[in-house]
Amino acid sequence: MHKTYLVTGSAGFIGFHLAKRLLNEGHHVIGFDNLNPYYSTALKKARNDLLLQHSNYCFYFGDLCDKPLIEEIFKQHHFHSVFHLAAQAGVRYSLTNPEVYLKSNVDGTLNILEACRQLNSKAHLFIASSSSVYGLSQNYPFQEEDSADRPVALYGATKRANELMAHSYSHLFGLRTTLLRFFTVYGPWGRPDMALFRFVSAVLKDEQIEVYNHGDMIRDFTYIDDIADGILGLEAARNNPTLPLYDVFNIGSSQPKTLMEFIKAIEKSLNKQAKLRFVPFQAGDIYKTYADVTKIQKTCSYSPKFSIEKGITSFVQWYLNIFLHLHLEQKCDVDATKSDVNAQDIFNKI
């Protein structure tokens, strides 16, 4: 049976892929995004244009903090599930522009919770969280039951706040909520500020790559298709009314790789050696992420299919054959950490 879903952040990386999967399965998708200029809006518009080719896709341009608009969307559509993926992304950007994160990630999420509670209380609400909530934890691999009260950057703190907000709404109002802790997502149509995008661009241009902590970093890199599989698997499994109203799940590969292994895979895929510049550990970073995926495996038979080599090869093919072909590179600053994006410009759009 075809259903109607809301995907906030539908022009973003994960939101785009999830919306595309739902549309390909014949469902109706209501997309919502403010096309925030944290990174180039050209890439976001290109993603959204692809979704608009589907007759079952309806897009609303707007802001999470526009409560009347959120309420109107919920009045116009009855959602089977709501995938709240919109958020101000980026760890390092939060060090200098904290206000943006509170408005988007906290105030905006509150509006979604309120709309679900008041206007569509039977909808299952899925909220994007992050491995950043584990912060200083060194209990590897990270388990959902581990303490998550020591985030090292405001981004992680806002995501932990989302988890606690959702728990209170489930407890007080019987709202079914599922929190999704994503681990270092990468793949085609990804964010230009992420390492894979920046590294591939730099290698092709014979530019230096900044390698943080002198290469001594470990990440649980997770391919976007595996992320989408996890989300949809949980959506099917968690609609069982006998399960707890609130729950939290890691979605990762559970195969952490060092930063140097990651770079080696890029060099192999491009058949070109990277120029490296080793730099110190950055404030707000986490040394190691490693997801325990036992819980999601038991819940919906989640099984990541992409090795880091396979995933990077897929990204490189997209970058060379689509990204460059569409001349998106000329419109994107692929190093958002060095961009001249004005925080006030983003704040004004929230």
Residues forming the active site: 155
From the number of C-beta atoms within 10 Å of its C-beta (0-12, 13-18, 19+), residue 42 rates as: middle
Contact 68, 85 (CB under 8 A): no
Q: Which of 148, 143, 185, 178 is nearest to 294 (CA)?
A: 143
Query: What is the C-alpha to C-alpha distance for residues 19 and 30, in angstroms, rounded to an integer?
Result: 9
For 89, other C-beta atoms within 10 Å of its C-beta total 24
Query: What is the C-alpha to C-alpha distance for residues 228 and 233, in angstroms, rounded to an integer?
Result: 8
SS (H, E, C) the chain: CCCEEEEECCCCHHHHHHHHHHHHCCCEEEEEECCCCCCCHHHHHHHHHHHHCCCCEEEEECCCCCHHHHHHHHHHCCCCEEEECCCCCCCHHHHCCHHHHHHHHHHHHHHHHHHHHHHCCCCEEEEEEEHHHHCCCCCCCECCCCCCCCCCCHHHHHHHHHHHHHHHHHHHHCCCEEEEEECCEECCCCCCCCHHHHHHHHHHCCCEEEEEHHHCCEECCEEHHHHHHHHHHHHHHCCCCCCCCEEEEEECCCCCEEHHHHHHHHHHHHCCCCEEEEECCCCCCCCECCECCHHHHHHHCCCCCCCHHHHHHHHHHHHHHHHCCCCHHHHCCCCHHHCCCCHHHHHHCC
